[in-house]
Structure 1
């Protein structure tokens, strides 16, 4: 059985290996930052293998190739033994080999701690989970901070025992004033906002430029359905959400329909009110 696995592991850079399986990233929680066309899956996989920051590549029969940085993807549809209509496949990068020879490519992925130790991520591990009857590969990260609200890739906040969190979605920003930051991943962009008390939201239109918007410097955004990127247009947005100091609760609806009080902003605005019209969110900030 070990001889057969050598075919699956033929793309290898240093001690890392690329494991190719059938499936596709879940669009609503995946944020690729590099796109290529006209590549077969071998060339696409090689591009990920040669990049220190890449954790996964996606390719299909149309020559469409996407690369995902570590921290920018958490769910991948597991097609198991059946190819989708577009012959979709993904290649996971593993940094450590399993303790013993495995019978299937999937067994080379699961339960292995991959030490990463940069960009605020210590390690990652791949597991198989089932959501609404669909099988997924889930990528679980260990971060350098442990406040309980580390999953920033979902389109709504996932809050536990923490005072603030970030959440991501696809959107077109409304009028805003921003500064620019060069990043290596979407996770880096989110972490900058999370760590900066004056930052309210970040967005990426063209990678690697992360646009940073402080409290009071935006009028809102318009949601867009999550989809695979086309060209260099990504339209990723991340918003900081804090524990409401009045209700002492996380209540996502208050971001859109009520007032949110945030004394930690440490600038001229500590309260804002949101409203929605269709897919557009409008914000009004109140000064001290």
Structure 2
């Protein structure tokens, strides 16, 4: 049986650099996840999109065991090198998976339960996988299920925080969708154009699965295009904003819009706005 593949330190550093701010975003979340599962004989692992371990959290008592099983930095857990396994299968199928002990392909991996969730970048491409591996012989499927929910939640949080950082100058809209298994965020610019979407939102709204998005008006995407259009729509929005800021005081709103009170009343009537 071939030994576990492991990359040298320079390759690990390059892969960590390639992930960029995702490493910084993920680090405190790995700490938090390890606080929740570390005392029960679990380790927390972050890999890149090729299944290479770029960060991990192990207890002092378990570190030798996990590293002996090939979960040290630079270890390669792609399906091509290790067959069916939590990390590699998660990456290949681009979905959350749990590979419990004997479900692993390689006999040397059957002592572990591996629970994984994918992390997608702001362009919709898979960039990392989050893994919790357990060395406990008595770990049950029920416990695996509870850990799996935590792993998926942390992965979604990393993905969402990275997306928000990527589109820091845009308005972030949480998509109204029943699928809670993915982060559902869209980035909308000052012109009401959707400029970015998470993997889950892309799928929910039928957008490009990966890469740049074709320009789309947010109102069209959300199915809220009825009513005023063009300049009338922009004028209505401006009047509504002025009234909201003025706490519905028409005199104050008129002053802010640099029009007379009578003019504002006429515009409100034409736009179908009541005082």
TM-score by length of 2: 0.28
1 or 2, which has the higher strand percentage? 1
1 or 2, which has the higher helix percentage? 2
Which protein has greater RCO, CA pairs closer than 8 Å, 6+ apart? 1
Q: Which has the larger radius of gyration?
A: 2
